[in-house]
Amino acid sequence: AAPARIGRPRRHGEAAENDSATPILEAKHLSKSFHGPDGRLREAVADVSFELFKGEVLGIVGASGSGKSTLARLLLALTDYDAGAVLYRGLEWPRADDRTKRRVRGKISVVYQDPYSSFDPRWNVGRILEDALRLHAEDGHAPQRADLLELLEAVGLNESHLRARPRHLSGGQRQRVAIARALAVHPEILILDEAVSALDVSIQAQILDLLEDLKARYSLSILFISHDLGVIHHIADRVLVMKDGAVVEEGDADAVFHAPRHRYTQELVAALP
Ligand code: ADP
Ligand code: MG
């Protein structure tokens, strides 16, 4: 099927941002500290740098508490960083004017582990997706049914799911709805923060396959965050390994998986089932 509405051509003025040598998203020496329970400052993200290029899947792996979600929040401008910069196509967007921030916010979508917590329990799937489509429609027009059906089809759902409430869906179907909602704003970048971690292994594989399809169909760039190196190896082209807020290893996914250089990564590999 042709990629019809999602991922439509960019508007005027964006062509200059389209240079493929420029990373689509970049973290430059990012740091963020929080006060711990003992009142002392602790670095949750410590001097993290990386580049995400158009069409690639960058995996970020690390144990619980290593700073992955904080990093995601910095990239999404949901938390302000203490030092460094987040760049979207070379622009430090979290510190840009409100209009620019609104524009870039629509380019970066996120899917979390538990979409149920972010769905309004009174809303059915159709309402959730219509609401997200309306966010994207700049002219305020009501979403077209064709757009809604395209979104559902893209994530392997159909008309029969429109009236269902998320709590009546399976975990995998719920995550498909969350992905559809993330796609509704026509993002260029998808950040997945433990998005398959709550699912059974067989359902995980289905969602990973879906993400591969969507990446190709909508030329998405994907930042895939997980504590599970096996899942990361399955989907990522390149991998960053985080420990205590810092990047301890970065490389091609196969290299990191089969020939890890850092002792911590070697431990992660050894711990795989
Ligand atoms: P991960 O996603 O890898 O599990 P997080 O980014 O959630 O790691 O957490 C990294 C560290 O930062 C943890 O020690 C966590 O307790 C701390 N942290 C995260 N957010 C906050 C916050 N809002 N206030 C205080 N500490 C936080
Ligand atoms: Mg997390």
b or e along 178-203 (b: 16 or more beta carbons within 10 Å of the residue's beta carbon)? bbbbbbbbbbbbbbbbbbbbbbeeeb
Residue-averaged pLDDT of the chain: 91
- Residue percentage of the chain with pLDDT more than 90: 84
Q: Distance between CA 87 and CA 77 in Å, rounded?
A: 11
Write the residue with the smallest CA distance to atom 15 of ligand 1: 65
Q: What pLDDT was estimated at residue 14?
A: 46
Q: Distance between CA 200 and CA 178 in Å, rounded?
A: 17
Question: From the CA of 76, how far away is ligand 2's center (Å)?
Answer: 14
Question: From the CA of 247, how far away is ligand 1's center (Å)?
Answer: 16
> What tokens were used for 259?
């020939």
The ligand 1 atom nearest the CA atom of 227 = 3
Q: Distance between CA 201 and CA 94 in Å, rounded?
A: 36
> What residue ranges in 73-119 does DSSP mark as E strands?
83-88, 108-111
Q: What pLDDT was estimated at residue 95?
A: 97
Q: Distance between CA 85 and CA 123 in Å, rounded?
A: 37
Residue 3 pLDDT greater than 60, yes or no: no
Is residue 253 within 8 Å of 238, Cβ to Cβ? yes
Helix (H, G, I), strand (E, B) or coil at 153: helix
As for ligand 1, residues whose beta carbon falls within 6 Å of it are: 34, 44, 62, 64-70
79 or 4, higher pLDDT: 79
Helix (H, G, I), strand (E, B) or coil at 269: helix
Among the bound ligands, the one closest to the CA of 63: 1
Band (12; pLDDT cuts 50, 70, 90): very low
Question: From the CA of 70, how far away is ligand 2's center (Å)?
Answer: 7
Q: What backbone torsions phi and psi does residue 253 show, to the nearest 5 degrees? A: -55, -45
Residue 197 pLDDT greater than 60, yes or no: yes
pLDDT digits (tens, 9 = 90+) for 141-196: 778 899 999 999 999 999 999 999 999 999 999 999 999 999 999 999 999 999 99
Question: From the CA of 107, how far away is ligand 2's center (Å)?
Answer: 22
Among the bound ligands, the one closest to the CA of 62: 1
What number is the average pLDDT over the span 37-58? Answer: 97
The ligand 1 atom nearest the CA atom of 194 = 2
Which residue shows structure tokens 């960058």? 58
Q: What pLDDT was estimated at residue 5?
A: 46
